[in-house]
Amino acid sequence: MPASMSVWGNAGFNPPVVEETKRKFIHGYKKPIAGLYNTVLQELLVQMHFIRHNLSYEYNEVRRAVKHLALAESHPGVRVWL
């Protein structure tokens, strides 16, 4: 591996860790979050973190819709907006 390349394959690409992304959101969002929504919110934050920092990510409407439906089915009491 050339010295200019990082582990990620792109020199200069150094994404934050998931914990840092979650911390930034929690500190930036001033309203209280109900316990019912906390698990769903944490999962969405992790998913969006990986999507945002994936170099090969391309938006796909069908893939997004399927993921939202899977999330809605796994948490039947929570309304998930597309």
Using CA atoms of 69, 70, 73, 75 in order, give the dihedral in degrees to the nearest 10. -110
**pTM of the prediction?**
0.54
At 1-34, the pLDDT tens digits run 444 444 545 667 788 899 998 999 989 999 988 8
In whole angstroms, what is the distance from residue 51 CA to residue 21 CA?
A: 12
Percent of the chain, pLDDT > 70?
A: 77
Please state, rounded to an integer, the average pLDDT across all residues of the chain. 78
Could you tell me which residue, 17 or 56, shows the higher pLDDT?
A: 17
